[in-house]
Amino acid sequence: MRLQLPPGQATTRPRWHNLCMDNDGQLELYTAVAAQLKEAHVKVRALQVPEGVRMALTRKLLVITAAAKHDLADAARRLQRFTADLDEGRLPEGDH
């Protein structure tokens, strides 16, 4: 069931949490991390590696995604390390 609001109430007005994020730069960091996570997933899918390695990399990305919900700055650092490892060919051991 979809909730229908009267026209005067159906807005996308700024909410307190959006205002807080925007004032301290969190919104820009969130946007950057989201874009980098998306790019990292694309890179992982494109790798020619055994399925176990791909699964290990995907799990790492999911952990970073979950961390972003609680500590965005830490997730950004983790994602940067993950991407550097990926770019330099440092891959986890997977089930072969």
Chain segment 12-54, per-residue pLDDT in tens: 555 545 555 555 677 888 899 999 999 999 999 999 999 999 9
| Cβ(44)–Cβ(86) below 8 Å | yes
* Higher pLDDT, residue 41 or 9: 41
Task: Report residue 95's pLDDT band, with 50, 70 and 90 as the boundaries.
Answer: low
Domain assignment of residue 65, yes or no: yes
Where in the sequence is the domain holding 55, given as residue range(s)? 49-96
The reported pLDDT for the residue numbered 5 is 52
Domain assignment of residue 71, yes or no: yes
The total number of structural domains that make up the chain: 1
- Structure pTM? 0.70
**Would you say residue 96 has pLDDT above 60?**
no
| Cβ(79)–Cβ(36) below 8 Å | yes
Domain assignment of residue 94, yes or no: yes
Tell me the helix, strand and coil percentages in the chain, rounded to 5: 65, 0, 35
Q: For 54-90, what is each residue's pLDDT tens digit?
A: 999 999 999 999 999 989 999 999 999 999 999 999 9
